[in-house]
Amino acid sequence: MEHQKNSKVWFITGASRGFGSIWADAALKRGDKVAATARSVASLNSLQEKYGANVLTLELDVTKPDQVKTAVTQAYEHFGKLDVVINNAGYSLVGTIEEASANEVHALYETNIFGTLAVIKAALPLLRQQGGGHILGVSSGLGHVTMPVIGYYCSSKWAFEAIHESLAAEVKAFGIHVTIIEPGAYATEFGSQDSLKFASGLDIYADFKKQFTDSLKDMERGDPNATPQALFQIVDTENPPLRFNLGSHNLAWLRAAYAERISTWESWQVVSESAQGNLK
C-alpha cells in the first residue's frame, strides 16, 4: 500500500503496442495512473476495461501539434498532475540513403522528432507549474551507432539524443529530470509492418539489403516483458540517469564503437592540430 500513497501519473505515447503497451499495463498494475495515447483509441480498450478510472485513453497522432497539446492538457487536468511523460511513438524507415525520398525522410522526422518535440513543449509548462517531473524519451542503441539500410532511422535517434541531452541541462533548475531510454534488440512489434515503412528499392542494393536482412534473423532479442522493473527503478530514484541502456547487449557494442572513434581521432591528431593555426 506504500506505493499507492505515492502513486505516479504517467503520460505515454504509442501505448497500444510494444514497450508502450507493456509499460502502461505494468504501471497500472502497480497502482499508478496512466494517460495512454495511441492513434486509434479503440486499440486501448483492453486497458480501459481492465483498469477503469485509473487509465485515461486518448486519441493522439503526435504529428498533429494541436492534438498533442489538447491530449497533454486533458491528461493533466484529469489526474491533477503528470509525473512521468514517455515519448514512445516512432517507426523505422527501411531503405538505403540513396533510395529513400525526401518526403519519406520528412515523414519519419515528423513522427520521431517533431512529434516528440510537440509532446515535450506541451508538457514543460505544466511540469514547471507543478514543480517537477520526469521526461523519458525512447531512443535506441542506434542513437550512438548506425546500421546500413536503416540509416535515416538511426539519424533520427542521433538527433533525438542531442535534443534530450540539451533539454536535460535546460530544465534541471526546474526540478525536471530527463532520461533517454536506449533499448537494444527486443521481441516487440517494432519489426512489424505497423512500425516499418519501406522506401522504393533500387536493384543495385538488392543483394546488399538481403544480406543485411538475413544477418538480423539470428540476432538475440530481449523479452520486453522483463523491462518494467528497470523502468520503475529509473522513475522512482531521486537521481535518474540521463542515459540508460535497456538490455544486456548495447554496452559492449558501444564500448567498441567509441574505442574505434577515439583511435581514429588519435591517429589523425597531428593533422588535426596542424589545422588549428595560431592567431596570437
More confidently predicted of 185 and 150: 150
% of residues, the chain, pLDDT over 70: 96
Q: What is the mean pLDDT of the chain?
A: 93
Write the pLDDT tens digit of every residue in 53-85: 999 999 999 999 999 999 999 999 999 999 999
Give the CA count within 13 Å in the CB-facing half-sphere of 196. Answer: 12
Q: State the Cα–Cα distance between residues 235 and 14, nearest whole angstrom.
A: 19
Residues near 106 by Cβ (< 8 Å), separated by ≥ 6?
A: none
The closest of 120, 129, 128, 126 to 167, measured between CA atoms, is 120
* Mean pLDDT (whole number) for 125-142: 97
- Three cell numbers written together for 20: 508502450
Name which of 134-143, 150-159, 179-188, 270-279 the model is least confident about: 179-188
Name which of 15-19, 102-106, 165-169, 270-274 the model is least confident about: 15-19
Residue of 140, 152, 155, 157 marked active site? 157
- Residue 182, SS3? strand
Torsion on CA atoms 123, 129, 131, 135, rounded to nearest 10: 0
Domain count along the chain: 1
pLDDT of residue 100 exceeding 70: yes
For residues 38 and 59, is the Cβ–Cβ distance under 8 A?
A: yes
Q: State the pLDDT at residue 215.
A: 85
Please indicate whether residue 153 is annotated as part of the active site: yes
Q: State the pLDDT at residue 102.
A: 97
pLDDT of residue 279 exceeding 70: yes
Residue of 16, 21, 139, 155 marked active site? 139
Q: State the pLDDT at residue 214.
A: 87
Distance separating the N- and C-terminal Cα atoms of the chain? 67
| CB neighbour burial string for 11-33, b if at least 16 within 10 angstroms, e if fewer | bbbbbbbbbbbbbbbbbbeeebb
What sign does the CA torsion over 237, 243, 248, 252 have? negative
Q: State the pLDDT at residue 1.
A: 34
For residues 245 and 142, is the Cβ–Cβ distance under 8 A?
A: no
Q: State the Cα–Cα distance between residues 72 and 60, nearest whole angstrom.
A: 10
Q: Is residue 42 part of a domain?
A: yes
Helix segments in 45-131, DSSP class H: 45-51, 65-79, 102-109, 116-130
* Mean pLDDT (whole number) for 110-120: 98
Residue of 153, 155, 156, 186 marked active site? 153
Name which of 43-47, 115-119, 134-138 the model is least confident about: 43-47
Over the Cα atoms of the chain, what is R_g?
A: 20
For residues 30 and 104, is the Cβ–Cβ distance under 8 A?
A: no
Give me the amino acid identity at 191.
Answer: G
* Mean pLDDT (whole number) for 142-170: 97
Q: Is residue 83 part of a domain?
A: yes
For residues 137 and 181, is the Cβ–Cβ distance under 8 A?
A: yes
Write the pLDDT tens digit of every residue in 225-268: 999 999 999 999 999 999 999 999 899 999 999 999 999 999 99
- Three cell numbers written together for 190: 517494432
Q: State the pLDDT at residue 5.
A: 54
More confidently predicted of 29 and 221: 29
Q: State the pLDDT at residue 2.
A: 40
CB atoms < 10 A from the CB of 183, how many?
A: 23
Q: What is the DSSP secondary structure assignment for residue 112, as one 8-state letter?
A: I
Q: Which domain holds residue 214?
A: 2-251
Q: Is residue 256 part of a domain?
A: no
Please indicate whether residue 64 is annotated as part of the active site: no
Q: Is residue 263 part of a domain?
A: no
Q: State the pLDDT at residue 194.
A: 58
Q: State the Cα–Cα distance between residues 153 and 95, nearest whole angstrom.
A: 10
Q: State the pLDDT at residue 196.
A: 80
**Confidence class for position 4, pLDDT limits 50, 70, 90:** low
Q: What CATH number is attached to the domain comprising 53? A: 3.40.50.720
Please indicate whether residue 157 is annotated as part of the active site: yes
pLDDT of residue 3 exceeding 60: no
The closest of 114, 154, 121 to 135, measured between CA atoms, is 121
* Mean pLDDT (whole number) for 168-172: 98
Q: Is residue 30 part of a domain?
A: yes
